[in-house]
Amino acid sequence: MNDMTPPVAAREHTVESFTREFLRELNFGRGVDLDRASANDKYMALARTVRHYLMTGWLETLRNQYRDQAKVVAYLSAEFLLGRQLDNNLLTSNLEGIARESLDQLGISLDDLREVEIEPGLGNGGLGRLAACFIDSLATLDVPCIGYGIRYEYGIFKQAFVDGHQVEKPDTWLALGSPWEFPHPENAVTVGFGGHVEDVTDEDGVKRRDWVPASVVNGVPYNYMVPGYGTNRVNTLRLWSARAPKAFNLQVFNEGGYEEAVKNQTFAENISKVLYPEDSTPQGKELRLQQQYFFVACSIADFLCNVLPQDFDLHRLPDRITWQLNDTHPVIAVPELMRQLVDLRGWTWEDAWGVTQKVFAYTCHTLLPEALEVWPVDLLGKLLPRHLEIIYRINELFLEELRDTYPGDELKVRHMSIIAEHPVRAVRMAHLATVAGFKVNGVAALHSELLRDKVLSDFAQLWPEKFTNVTNGVTPRRFVRIANPSMSGLVTEAIGDGWIKDLSQLSRLEPLAEDAEFRRRFRDIKAANKVEFARVLKERDGIEIAGDAMVDAMVKRLHEYKRQTLKLLHIVSLYQRIGSGALPLESVTPRTFVFGAKAAPGYALAKQIIALINAVGSTINADASLEGRLKVAFPANYNVTLAEKLIPAADLSEQISLAGKEASGTGNMKFALNGALTIGTDDGANVEIRELVGDENFFLFGMSEPEVADLEASGYSPEAVYASDPDLKAAIDLISSGAFSGGDRTLHEPVIAALLGEDRFMALADFRSYVDAQDRVEAYYGDFEAWSRSAILNVARSGFFSSDRSMVDYMDRIWGAKPVKQNF
């Protein structure tokens, strides 16, 4: 240790020292005595104490970064859906036991304090949670990484239900303070917006373009620790908060012009005010483009000016960094780097483009054409006039190259252009990313294939070597070790704890699937997790469910392509068949159908689907004739914290998107790793899950992607399917009859009309196959030994879905970055 070591020695891991630190934080940090401390005081003091213990590793990591000048991965993402921090930081600092004992001695329950933390919901769903898993894995693998994003003042909206309808409320996650962040206003970066571009000639007679922004905004960095597990490395997540450079105009204020005086401040601070609650279908909103440019410009300036040494020769940039673009949201980074090099540093276009093309790699996360971001040039030009010029120039040179390669094929040139002409002139961000990036990857094998063969096929023909796949993964620390402590204990007892850092070791559990005693213990743990989940639902939502029913879970954003309606039709059909006597109640396995889903506030049909799920739920839950065998539980505001309770309790994981629409899915991986069996289509990462766990441990149903394409081509008629399947017809008719809406036949009409009209995602076409698969589920679940065997095999064979593995793949296939071990 040297004299730069922080006051608390990181290696001093004793209950006594922990207690000392905790009380010191309470007294000196919070200014309260233990007797008078609120739960929040205690949580804050605990968080501060834990972060002290991580500090040595953080400082050392930063010091080494300057010293080693190793290649860094900069993960640029508009979303990081972190989840609660305390548990993870207790785990990585190896303090859980000590903290618990210390707090016990003080008469405080660690578990109570855990509940105080409000999770930072700085993401919409899979894409944001993936970013959080990736930075966790990179730290654990000792890879230098900086996560760059936005510190939204309000994260993803808090969902409430009023009469079954979604109502959005602001997510005030910062209201009680945020102990994990380190603001550095002194390192603020200035970002311009609007204005115009002019020609200038500098002293050496060199002409260049000069952007004169109309307004500027400061980006204040907030640093968060990203501790690795089982290593001293603590990487950094840097989230930017927007501030006005000049707080307000005092003169105007003193004259009583209060609103006028703070106008600038409002403009600036709105930029990081709120996370856009969009998922898969981004809307062309000016503020969203401002957000994108804001965080990207801050991050690039930060890396070039603060992270790199002052004398660094930027021609060597590709040796020091890869900017990984998490979807198209940060793609405006491409013209920004060009501007930094050409306009601000006087580089030639060719030199700047040469470097730019070696530092960006692009991950695409979607297959829905409407989710590929497009910015109208009017908007882009108004907000970022110089960037638009640069994009035009990039496109001009690209089109020249295309015309050389494909002489006379103007149709191809038009298809591939970065600029779309219809319906309005607009920049196709995915094309820009593909042209500029040195690699483009999809997020599961099937998705990457479809990207290559369909969505970006022209580009893949031109540059086959650019395209690659990296299948998503999830962090085993949060989603197994922390979320499912009992199962983790059982696994560790059986195979040691090496799996936490090397998830492929789970395969050593395979033989234990044949061990009756192991199966019994595994089952007991699942049963206990269900009881705990039931307790949480009761306490959190006032929802009562049986502690021992099958837990059948569908949790993900509400989107037509994900087909929550298909799940709903199955439930309604069961209810209808029981009601009509076609299905004897005694033959039905007691089941709780759990839904968790937020709808984008502007997505009317998704909201109507939520209302219908709730309506069906209330009717079924209130129907005494079912004797409680079927229950629908739809807790509002599904989030990472609830996921950590639900997933370990689940028996059945619903992954039922229309084949060819879900890029990957990551919930599917979390469920399999916690011993749920999947009922799913051949879509996204389900394909790989099924291949690995085996057909006999997976309930496959529905059309394959080529079958979907064929049906589309030959003409799909949902009406015809409806007419030909009596169960389906009866289920739909029951909804239409007003059975779930107090006799009102119009209330759920839009959902039914969407299904019977276009049924864009072919829920009806897959209904029969889905219901048959559910019958197989019922039968198999009855054989609890067989089911437990399959559940254990799901765990044993899912080690591939660790985000650690994803990171190794990114390193090998894309980044060329290497782990740098910390020796101290």
Task: Please report, as ranges, the residues that interact with ligand NTF according to CB under 6 A.
Answer: 125-127, 130, 279-280, 327, 365-366, 371, 443, 472, 662-666, 684
Distance CA 429, CA 83 (A): 29
* Beta carbons within 10 angstroms of residue 76's beta carbon: 24
Q: 476 or 665: whose CB is closer to ligand NTF? A: 665
Give, in order, the Cα–Cα distances in Å from 279 to each of 136, 180, 283, 325, 821: 23, 27, 10, 17, 37
For residue 447, the minimal CB distance to ligand NTF (Å) is: 8
Q: 443 or 613: whose CB is closer to ligand NTF? A: 443
Q: Output the DSSP codes for 235-295.
A: EEEEEEEEE-SS---HHHHHTT-HHHHTHHHHHHHHTTTB----SSS----HHHHHHHHHH
670 is catalytic: yes
Distance CA 801, CA 137 (A): 12
Residue tagged active-site, from 236, 666, 678, 681:
666
Residue 750: asked if its preceding bond is cis (omega within 30°), the reply is: no
For residue 686, the minimal CB distance to ligand NTF (Å) is: 10
Residues near 591 by beta carbon (within 8 Å), at least 6 away in sequence: 549, 550, 551, 552, 629, 630, 631
Q: In this structure, are residues 133 and 139 in contact, taking their beta carbons and an 8 Å threshold? A: no
For residue 125, the minimal CB distance to ligand NTF (Å) is: 6
Q: In this structure, are residues 548 and 590 in contact, taking their beta carbons and an 8 Å threshold? A: yes
Q: 41 or 279: whose CB is closer to ligand NTF? A: 279
562 is catalytic: yes
Distance CA 152, CA 124 (A): 12
For residue 818, the minimal CB distance to ligand NTF (Å) is: 24
* Beta carbons within 10 angstroms of residue 729's beta carbon: 14
- Residue 819, Ramachandran bin (φ over 0: left; ψ between -120 and 50: alpha; else beta): beta
Distance CA 5, CA 63 (A): 12
Q: 444 or 460: whose CB is closer to ligand NTF? A: 444
Residue tagged active-site, from 556, 598, 789, 805:
556
- Report the half-sphere exposure of 671 (CA within 13 A, side-chain side): 27
Give, in order, the Cα–Cα distances in Å from 681 to each of 668, 704, 751: 11, 7, 22
For residue 378, the minimal CB distance to ligand NTF (Å) is: 24
Q: 130 or 534: whose CB is closer to ligand NTF? A: 130
Residue tagged active-site, from 365, 447, 466, 661:
365
Question: Which spans in 25-114 are helix H?
Answer: 39-68, 86-92, 96-105, 110-114
Distance CA 591, CA 630 (A): 5
For residue 79, the minimal CB distance to ligand NTF (Å) is: 8
557 is catalytic: yes
For residue 663, the minimal CB distance to ligand NTF (Å) is: 4
For residue 777, the minimal CB distance to ligand NTF (Å) is: 23
Q: 127 or 763: whose CB is closer to ligand NTF? A: 127
DSSP class of residue 124 equals: S
Q: 217 or 374: whose CB is closer to ligand NTF? A: 374
Q: 233 or 365: whose CB is closer to ligand NTF? A: 365
Q: In this structure, are residues 194 and 216 in contact, taking their beta carbons and an 8 Å threshold? A: no
For residue 91, the minimal CB distance to ligand NTF (Å) is: 24
Residues near 599 by beta carbon (within 8 Å), at least 6 away in sequence: 166, 557, 558, 606, 607, 609, 610
Q: 323 or 362: whose CB is closer to ligand NTF? A: 362
* Beta carbons within 10 angstroms of residue 139's beta carbon: 27
Helix (H) or strand (E) holding 518: helix 516-541
Residue tagged active-site, from 562, 567, 661, 805:
562
358 is catalytic: no
Residue tagged active-site, from 386, 670, 690, 748:
670
Distance CA 669, CA 648 (A): 12
% helix, strand, coil for the chain, step of 5: 55, 15, 30
Q: 474 or 612: whose CB is closer to ligand NTF? A: 474
Q: In this structure, are residues 291 and 375 in contact, taking their beta carbons and an 8 Å threshold? A: no
For residue 562, the minimal CB distance to ligand NTF (Å) is: 9
For residue 460, the minimal CB distance to ligand NTF (Å) is: 19
Q: 149 or 665: whose CB is closer to ligand NTF? A: 665
Instruction: Spell out the SS3 assignment of 450-500.
Output: HHHHHHCHHHHHHCHHHEEECCCCECHHHHHHHCCHHHHHHHHHHHCCHHH
Residues 603, 595, 640: CA angle, nearest 5 degrees: 85
Q: Which residues are catalytic?
A: 365, 556-557, 562, 666, 670
